[in-house]
Structure 1
Amino acid sequence: MKEEPIKTAIIAVIIENESGALARVVGLFSGRGYNIESLTVSEIDPAHHMSRITIVTSGTEMVIAQIKAQLGRLVPVHGVLDLSAPGPHVGRELALIKVVNRGDPRTEAMRIADAFHARIVDVSATSCVYEVTGSSDKVTAFIDLLLPLGVMEVARTGIVAMTRGAQKSFQSA
């Protein structure tokens, strides 16, 4: 029997911003053995107490379909959308990278940052903190180039994404 290929899915969830709602979503993943590769969440509609969760996970088509169906059945969920399904979407990630160095390595790190359109957001005599945004591949490539130059710490946001074009990703709840 042929094995189904594993795919990465970017799933957006509109959920009520209430105590325990995020825990229920995460609990669904852990309880069924699904992995969360990236998770971002923020309130998007304070008047209606709604938040948007963006989850990056992976699995077969059947597993992804199960995840979406189970998310849709959770009580505080108002919408589930697979942004990685056919159709255009935009996804971005932000990272802060602290590099400790001086002299030539510092100059080289600044050249690399310029090539990646990264910004210096903090500088001291011995360190710089760079901010880079873009696709996960771009962020990873930037970090990989800085590693030999003295990377001390990395903080990544995870992916945020939405559909392209004039239509809303979600219809009003």
Structure 2
Amino acid sequence: MRPFVVASVFWLAAATGCVAACSVPQDAQQQVILRFDVTDMGAMGDVPLLTLRADGHVAVPLRGEIREGRLPETEVQDLLDAMVSDGVLDLTTEQIADALAPQSTGGGQVALPGLIADGATSYISLDMPGCRVSLSAPDSALNSLAHPDAAPLQAFRRSELRLLDIVMRLQRG
């Protein structure tokens, strides 16, 4: 019975290796581990919409100032676990773009991508040992509604909504 338990634990650890690898670094509490922004500037801004450090410190710009707060360690880890579960660490910006690319609908018709002139692009950057990803998605809110079957975009959007929830909580005070 014992070998079965050991083998099961090993299999479970291997299957969820990303979750374990995406643990908050305890030796670098001041390290910025996540940045999130929504902008039309073509790149993440110098002061993103949300900055999260390993110690749970969060910063959100509000009316020309920076509002700061702290997330409990369990909430930070839950957020990271949810992002892993969403599949964000397995995504690339190219996969998101490909999911929005024009597709032939047959009969000589091509469905155009859901690009919006001057629309904002959402950016998520995660930087920790074993968990590094930098993603962008154009017009993610509208495109996620227009393309419900675009799995990479939907995964990105689920994580984006979690991050927006944190931003809104901090902005409300």
> Normalization by structure 1: what TM-score?
0.26
- Looking at secondary structure, tell me which structure has more strand per residue: 1
- Looking at secondary structure, tell me which structure has more helix per residue: 2
> Normalization by structure 2: what TM-score?
0.26
